[in-house]
Structure 1
Amino acid sequence: MTVDSQRIERLTRELLEAIGEDPDRPGLKQTPARMAELYAEFFAGVGADAAEPLARTISVTRGPAPDTLPSGAVLLRDIRFRSVCEHHLLPFAGHAHLAYLPGEQVVGLGALVRVVEILAARPQVQERLGEQIADTIAEHLDTRGVLVVLDASHGCVTMRGGRQTEASTLTIAARGEYTDAAARAELISLIGPSTSSGPHGLERGLPG
C-alpha cells in the first residue's frame, strides 16, 4: 500500500493551522512534505504481507549439515524495532526477542527481523504486535513452539501525562510448547535483562 502523500501534506497544513500556526512561515514551510515522507516510512507495513519473508525455508535434514536434526530452540535477541501507538500516534520503540522450536524446516534469521519490521510499520499497540508476530511465525513455519518478548518505551507514557521517562513495557506472546511456563524458563534466562530502556529484568512481570 502506498500512502497518499498529497493528502498527508494537505492535512498537515490544516493541522498546523488548527493549532494556531502559520504553515507558510520558513520553519514550517517544508513540514507537510517531511510529514508525508515520514508517514510513508512509518506506515510502510500497512497492507503488507508479514508472512512473505518466511516463504523461503531451509531443510535441516537436507541442508548444509544433513546429519543435524532439530532439537533446541532458535533464539534471536535484541531486534531493535520502532512503531507508532494507534492511540496518540506517538512512537514506541525497543527490542524484540524471538524464539522458535523448529521442525524439519528453518528460516534465515533475517526473515524473522523482517516479520517484526513489517508488523511494526503500521498503527499498533504493543500487546497486539507481539501476538501478531507470534501468530505469523507459528502459522507459516514448521514450529513446535514460538516465544515473542517485546520490551519498549512508549512516547505516550514518557512524553505526556505523568511523563514517566524511565518506564518501559514488557509483553510476552507464546504458542505451542512455550505456552507452558516451565518450557520457556530457559529461554527467558538466555534472553537476560532488558536492554531497551533500563535495568529491568525480564523475569519480573512475566505471566507464570
Structure 2
Amino acid sequence: MNPAPASQATAPTAHHRTRPAWRGTGAVAEPDLERATTGARILLEALGIDLENESMARTPERMAASFVELITPRPFQLTTFPNDGGYDELIVARSIPVRSLCEHHMLPFIGTAHIGYLPGERILGLSKLARVLEHFSSRPQVQERLTVQVANWLEAQLGPVGVGVVIEAEHLCMTLRGVQAPGTTTITSSLLGVLREDSRSRAEFLALTRPPR
C-alpha cells in the first residue's frame, strides 16, 4: 500500500511535468528543474549577487536542485505484518532525524521525531516509521501539520490501539532571521486513541520519548 492514493498523471510538456498535488497535504507537483534554475538566477541577480565569477556560475542550478531534493520524498511500500504474537505494549522509534521547509519562509527546520504506537492486529516494519515521517516532511510544511499528518496516517493505515508523535525542531526562520533566537526549539505532539485518552498510557509514551539521563 502506498502512503497516499496515486493520482493520474498527465503527459509531460516542455515546461511542466505534472505530479498532481494531493489536496490538503501540502504535497507539490512535479518540479520543473529548468524553470526553477531560471527563477533562482533571477532571484539571486535581483538580490544583487554577482553570478559571473566561476564559483557562482552554477549556483542557480545547484540552488534549484537542492530545493527539489528537499521537496521530493523517496517512494516506499507500506510493510505490515500480522501481530500473531499478540504484542500489546508500546513500540517507539526515538530520535528519528527530521528536516523540512518552513512554508512561510522556505527556510529549513531541523530536529528529531519520536513516533510510537500501541499495536492492534497489525504491526509495522520498523523502518517505515522513518519513511512515513520523510514522506510528509518532504514538502513545504508547518511543524504542527506535519505532526498531525504522521499520526493520522499511521492511525488510518494500521488501526492501532493508540498512536503518538512528538517532534522537536529548530526553525532557521526563527534562529537566523527575525527574532534571531539561536538554540530555540519547538515541540509539537499528536496523541490518538488510548495514548490520548488514558493518562497512564500517555505518560508511558512521553517518558519513552525522553532521552536517557
Q: TM-score range by the shorter chain?
A: 0.7 to 0.9
User: What pairs with 1:122-141 in structure 2 (closer than 5 Å)?
Assistant: 122-141=139-158
Q: Separation in 1 of the partners of 2:37 and 2:53?
A: 15
- Name the SS for the 1:137 alignment partner: helix
- The answer for the alignment partner of 1:104 in structure 2 is 121
- Is 1:188 aligned to 2:206, yes or no? yes
| Identity rate, percent | 39
Which of residues 9, 29, 33 in structure 1 aligns to 2:37? Answer: 9
Residue 40 of structure 1 deviates from its aligned partner by 1.8
Task: Specify the code of the residue in structure 1 equivalent to 2:110.
Answer: A
Task: Specify the code of the residue in structure 1 equivalent to 2:96.
Answer: I
Structure 1 unmatched ranges of 5 or more: 62-67, 200-208
- Is 1:159 aligned to 2:156, yes or no? no
Q: Separation in 2 of the partners of 1:40 and 1:94?
A: 20
User: What pairs with 1:35-184 in structure 2 (closer than 5 Å)?
Assistant: 35-45=63-73, 53-54=77-78, 56-61=79-84, 68-180=85-197, 182=199, 183-184=201-202
- Name the SS for the 2:156 alignment partner: helix
Count, aligned residues: 184
Residue 181 of structure 1 deviates from its aligned partner by 6.0
Give the TM-score normalised by structure 1. 0.83
Whether contact under 8 Å (2:136, 2:146) holds in the other structure is yes
Residue 20 of structure 1 deviates from its aligned partner by 1.5
Structure 2 unmatched ranges of 5 or more: 1-18, 20-29
RMSD: 1.9
What per-residue deviation string (whole Å, max 9, x for no partner) do you get for residues 129-180 of structure 1? Answer: 0000001100011301100000000001110122111100000011111123
Q: Separation in 1 of the partners of 2:43 and 2:134?
A: 28
Task: Specify the code of the residue in structure 1 equivalent to 2:83.
Answer: V
Whether contact under 8 Å (1:146, 1:178) holds in the other structure is yes
